[in-house]
């Protein structure tokens, strides 16, 4: 047999072995990285999603890897082996805002990650401690102007959607004396808000935040959606209260390291779409303040991310 024929047989055998390995995916637990500490909006979407993926993909282990506005966890996934066993629950902060705001970003979201599907969008909220004598955004603006430098607000970190929402509020309201306090995630910021360590925060709307509001442990003055949320129709929007343009929303989706085999991506897409098609799960997401996204393909998810970066 000629050397060229032998080489062709070897290449065919290797390709066959690789295809067989992909067809057996997954053979071990999948790691789902949430790039923020526990207790935030990503946990609210990611942990119930992981439970619904288990019957379809096997064990899915959630790992909270927070820091640097979500970029530490996202960069860790970007550097992980492209074998389908490390996935990212990514969103606007880590994949859009932080790379743009950083002079030397740790990764390129469009080149180092493979979009899988967009899962949900969510709005943010303007929240104060219940001891504050504030019931509306007008009250908040008047108080801030009468007490310059005495208000501060906590966020999930520098460059996150939470911070930009806070800065947008300051710009539109004409109040620039409110001090930003960055945390390693929304969970720690909420903890300090509830305890009274900080008077104000800009968290994403989640079931936990809504429950804390209804229990009187914090007070949501407004949501930053274009319309009132189905999960909390009693809470007015910022636009309703006179702040035209005060709309701020985040998105959450699944991503893999760039170079992950299309067959593996397709399998994760199929599992994610099946989970999102579950009416009970969609109800959980809606009640948590999310708007479930229509099932998106990897190409649609990439275009969505490109559009968000451009915007």
The domain containing residue 174 runs over which residues? 125-223
pLDDT tens for each residue of 147-201:
999 999 999 888 788 998 999 999 999 999 999 999 988 889 999 999 999 999 9
Q: Distance (Å, rounded) from C-alpha 261 to C-alpha 22? A: 8
Which positions ≥6 away from 265 have C-beta within 8 Å? 84, 114, 116, 256, 298
pLDDT of the residue at 70: 85
Indicate if the pLDDT at residue 76 is higher than 90: yes
Residue 280 within a domain: yes
Top pLDDT among 156 and 126 is at 126
Q: With 0-12 CB in 10 A as exposed, 13-18 as middle and 19+ as buried, what is 262?
A: exposed
Residue 19 within a domain: no
Q: What is the CATH number of the domain that holds 34?
A: 3.40.190.150
Do 42 and 101 share a domain, yes or no?
yes
pLDDT tens for each residue of 18-37:
444 445 899 999 999 999 88
Residue 4 within a domain: no
Residue 6 within a domain: no
The 179-182 sheet, strands edge to edge:
179-182, 152-155, 200-201, 125-128, 219-223
DSSP H or E segment with residue 79: none
Do 202 and 278 share a domain, yes or no?
no
Q: How many domains does the chain have?
A: 2
Residue 23 within a domain: no
Residue 193 within a domain: yes
Q: Are 62 and 39 in contact (CB under 8 A)?
A: no
Residue 14 within a domain: no
Do 210 and 145 share a domain, yes or no?
yes
Do 54 and 103 share a domain, yes or no?
yes
Q: What is the CATH number of the domain that holds 189?
A: 3.40.190.10
């Amino acid at each position: 047999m000629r050397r060229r024929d032998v080489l062709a047989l070897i290449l065919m055998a290797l390709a066959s072995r690789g295809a067989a390995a992909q067809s057996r995916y997954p053979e071990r637990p999948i790691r789902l990285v949430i790039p923020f500490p526990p207790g935030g909006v990503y946990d609210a979407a990611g942990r119930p999603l992981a439970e619904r993926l288990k019957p379809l993909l096997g064990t899915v282990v959630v790992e909270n890897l927070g820091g640097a506005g979500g970029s530490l966890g996202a960069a860790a996934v970007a550097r992980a082996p492209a074998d389908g066993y490390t996935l990212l629950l990514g969103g606007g902060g880590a994949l859009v805002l932080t790379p743009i705001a950083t002079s030397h970003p740790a990764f390129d979201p469009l080149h180092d990650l493979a979009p899988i599907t967009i899962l949900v969008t969510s709005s943010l909220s303007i929240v104060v401690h219940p001891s504050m004598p504030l019931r509306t955004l007008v009250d908040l603006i008047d108080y801030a102007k009468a007490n310059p430098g005495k208000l501060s607000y906590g966020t999930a970190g520098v460059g996150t959607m939470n911070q930009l929402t806070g800065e947008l509020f300051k710009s539109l309201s004409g109040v620039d004396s409110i001090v930003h306090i960055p945390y390693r995630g929304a969970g720690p910021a909420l903890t300090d808000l509830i305890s009274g360590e900080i008077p104000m925060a800009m968290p994403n709307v989640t079931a936990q935040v809504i429950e804390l509001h209804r229990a009187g442990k914090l007070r949501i003055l407004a949501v930053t959606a274009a319309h009132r949320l189905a999960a909390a129709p009693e809470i007015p929007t910022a636009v309703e209260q006179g702040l035209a343009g005060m709309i701020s929303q985040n998105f959450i989706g699944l991503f893999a390291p760039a170079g992950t085999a299309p067959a593996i991506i397709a399998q994760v897409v199929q599992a994610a779409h099946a989970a999102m098609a579950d009416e009970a799960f969609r109800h959980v997401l809606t009640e948590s303040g999310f708007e479930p996204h229509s099932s998106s393909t990897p190409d649609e998810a990439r275009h969505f991310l490109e559009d968000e970066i451009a915007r």
